[in-house]
Amino acid sequence: MTKDLSRQDRTLGEALRGQGISRRSFLKFCAATASMMALPPAMIPTIAQALEKAKKPSVIWLSFQECTGCTESLTRAQAATIENLIFDAISLDYHHTLQAASGHAAEAAREAAMKEHDGQYLLVVDGSIPLGNPGYSTIAGISNVDMLTDTAKGAAAIISVGSCAAFGGIANAKPDPTGAVAVSAIIKDKPIINVPGCPPIPGVLTGVLTHFLTFGAIPELDHLGRPVAFFGQSIHDRCYRRPFYDRGLFAETFDDEGARQGWCLFKLGCKGPSTYNACATMKWNGGVSFPIEAGHPCIGCSEPHFWDGGGFYKALSMPTGNVSENAVYAAAGAAVGAVAVSALNRAKKKKATEAHEEVTVDDLTK
Amino acid sequence: MNEIEFLSWVRGPGFQIATVIFVAGIIIRLGETLLLGRKANLAEAKGSEMSSGLRTVAARMLPPDRETFKRSTFTIVAGYIFHIGLFVTIFLYAPHILLIKDVIGFGWPALPSQIVDAFTVVSLIALLAILLHRLTDKVLRHLSGPEDYIVWFVTIAPLLTGYLAFHRLGGSPVMMLAIHILSVELLMVLFPFTKLMHTFTLFLARWYNGAISGYRGVES
């Protein structure tokens, strides 16, 4: 009796074998994932076993006020085609950009998946949700907030992909015309994993998914709901240019001698010291490089409100607003104030002299 | 409010408020002193006020005579150490020069960061020693009030938190940086209302000492 190997019923292991992935490649992926998540080598067989047996979980991907950059990042996962195949093996039942269906058929597929895998499907969200007027962003006539609350009801867990879904992102930046909020501002009763970044590193998302598949639970999260395995260290603490920071050797402009020598980009506005992500270790494009290595300061894209941090090219030690203007107004006002105060003091002194009385400093206004 | 929001606040509205209070406070305090004027001296001037005043300002920057130095060695030495340390850490450290450049429009070259780090450590030790001295010396303890201890605290806090922030010690680095900036804002806000005003009034006081002597034609 041959096993029915139609896509819906295959386990992950069967799906990968069907795609021609060798056992060796599969174990290599498990080893790489284990090391990425800082798990001991003894866990590799556990991961392999779990992934082998994992039924392709149903994944519903909702795209709200997003730029599709997060999907773009994911589909650039070129490290090993095995990552793409993982997605093949995961039943991606709804995704605007990647799905073949559209219109009513697409919405029907979503509703069918929700019904069939009620309580078990993984909900992935990218993009922020506008609350200013729900009509700002709708899909099939359904507002984002309605679709989110509806779909979240039967989800096992929610992954907020990208800084928009995790923290509000660019739509939430001043003056926030749509009243954009993060997923966690709306859903309060489901486990939410924030995977921020603008966009996030592809390997970070596959790592989070693998953790979920292996252990059936969400990984350890920090105070902002981000997996500690990938967001536990700041860029600054892993930056290869750190020795230059410690010595005070900074690039002053983008093309000066310091920049060419690869000196620290603090003066050009690098937010590395206050940003937590895996860019300095995992890097981008399969480990090729990351913004600082390419010569551009870190913009802090995995932190909340990074768009309103004063500007990408304003150093962390600089104030975010225009202080000199206020200082000048304060000085002008104070000068007037000082003249007024001393006028009062002089009048008091004059009166005392006329009355042949002594006046001391304590009698005058302080 | 999370850490990043707190950091954005201290870099934004917090700094604006502190600067306004700092600038306005200093100008009002100095203004009301200067504009009060002096009583007219009807005696004939025997020498120049201005030159003697300026000379005194310069002369009293340096250590005093042997006798005075012997009597107050600790205060003078420790005082010089932490004042020079404050000058180096505030005005010769690259990220701070960037901040000043943003506010006043121009900057200047910085010292290597490890050298500034060394100055910070020495200044911290000096300030701790000064507190100990104030607590153990009978006379000083008798004279010291709440203001003295508060001013000591707002002076050492930026140095300590800055050191911790640079070395990524003391818990969350983002929080430590935000607390460092907040401690500076606290210093700025308390500045015009405490003895920290000596930063500016000392020039008036020393000038005046020199001026009244110079007017009488004597050495100050």
- Please say if the pLDDT value at position A83 is more than 80: no
Closest CA to A48 of A65, A69, A25: A25
Beta bridge partners of A142: A139
Same structural domain for residues A76 and A219?
Answer: yes
- Quote the Cα angle for A331-A337-A341, to 5°: 145
Other CB atoms within 10 A of residue A315 CB: 22
- Please say if the pLDDT value at position A319 is more than 50: yes
* Average of per-residue pLDDT across B16-38: 94
* Residue A14 lies inside a defined structural domain of this protein: no
**Residues A187/A158, Cβ–Cβ less than 8 Å:** yes
Q: How far apart are CA A233 and CA B45, in angstroms?
A: 70
Same structural domain for residues A261 and A178?
Answer: no
Q: How many domains in chain A?
A: 3
Closest CA to A177 of A136, A146, A148: A136
In the listed set A203, A231, A259, which residue is the last one of a domain according to the structure? A231
Q: Which pLDDT score is estimated for A152? A: 96
Other CB atoms within 10 A of residue A310 CB: 18
| Residue A155, phi then psi, degrees to nearest 5 | -85, 145
In the structure, how many helices (H) and strands (E) does chain B have?
11, 0
Q: Could you tell me which residue, A34 or B16, shows the higher pLDDT?
A: B16
Same structural domain for residues A208 and A265?
Answer: no
Chain A touched by B12 (CB under 8 Å) = yes
Residue A114, domain extent: 56-231
Q: Could you tell me which residue, B220 or A321, shows the higher pLDDT?
A: A321
Other CB atoms within 10 A of residue B58 CB: 10
**Residues A278/A259, Cβ–Cβ less than 8 Å:** no
Same structural domain for residues A180 and A305?
Answer: no
Residues of A in contact with B27 (CB under 8 A): 330-331, 334-335, 337-338
Q: What is the per-residue pLDDT across A127-159, written as a single tens digit (0 to 9) for each? A: 999 999 999 999 999 999 999 999 999 999 999
Same structural domain for residues A316 and A336?
Answer: no
In the listed set A167, A196, A231, which residue is the last one of a domain according to the structure? A231
Q: How far apart are CA B62 and CA A339, in angstroms?
A: 35
Give the pLDDT band of residue A124 (cuts 50, 70, 90): very high
- The whole-model pTM stands at 0.87
Q: What is the per-residue pLDDT across A191-246, written as a single tens digit (0 to 9) for each? A: 999 999 999 998 888 888 878 877 778 899 999 999 999 999 999 999 999 999 99
| Residue B89, token pair as written in the block | 């850490």
Q: What is the per-residue pLDDT across B143-181, written as a single tens digit (0 to 9) for each? A: 999 999 999 999 999 999 999 999 999 889 999 999 999
DSSP string, A179-229: -EE-GGGT--SS-EEEE-SSS--HHHHHHHHHHHHHHSSPPPB-TTS-BHH
Q: Which pLDDT score is estimated for A194? A: 97
Q: Which of A52-66, A262-276, B128-142 has the lowest mean pLDDT?
A: A52-66
Same structural domain for residues A202 and A346?
Answer: no
Q: Could you tell me which residue, A64 or A210, shows the higher pLDDT?
A: A64
- Tracing tokens 């039943």 back to the chain, one arrives at A91
Q: Which of A88-92, A175-179, A187-191, B15-19 has the lowest mean pLDDT?
A: A88-92
Mark yes or no for CB contact A316/B177 under 8 Å: yes
Query: What are the extents of the domains in chain B?
Result: 3-22+73-216
Same structural domain for residues A107 and A174?
Answer: yes
Q: Which pLDDT score is estimated for A17? A: 80
Q: Which pLDDT score is estimated for A3? A: 47
Same structural domain for residues A89 and A203?
Answer: yes
Mutate to test the interface with B, among A274, A302, A312, A336 (most CBs of B within 10 A): A274
The whole-angstrom distance between A225's CA and the closest CA on chain B is 12
In the listed set A231, A264, A289, which residue is the last one of a domain according to the structure? A231
Size of interface A-B (CB pairs under 8 A): 145
Give the architecture (CATH level 2) of B3-22+73-216. Up-down Bundle (1.20)
Same structural domain for residues A182 and A101?
Answer: yes
Contacts of B149 (CB under 8 A, 6+ apart): none
Task: Give the one of A247, A273, A308 whose C-beta lies nearest to B173's C-beta.
Answer: A273
Same structural domain for residues A183 and A275?
Answer: no
Q: Which residue of A has its CA nearest to B2?
A: A224
Domain containing residue A296: CATH number: 4.10.480.10
- Tracing tokens 């500690």 back to the chain, one arrives at A228
Beta strand A155-161 with A192-195 is: parallel
Q: Which residue of A has its CA nearest to B21?
A: A330
Mark yes or no for CB contact B31/A337 under 8 Å: yes
Same structural domain for residues A127 and A151?
Answer: yes
Domain containing residue A172: CATH number: 3.40.50.700
DSSP state of A234: B
- Please say if the pLDDT value at position A4 is more than 50: no
Residues of B in contact with A323 (CB under 8 A): 15-16, 19, 102-103
**Residues B81/B122, Cβ–Cβ less than 8 Å:** yes
* Residue A191 lies inside a defined structural domain of this protein: yes
The whole-angstrom distance between B69's CA and the closest CA on chain A is 32
Q: How large is the ipTM?
A: 0.90
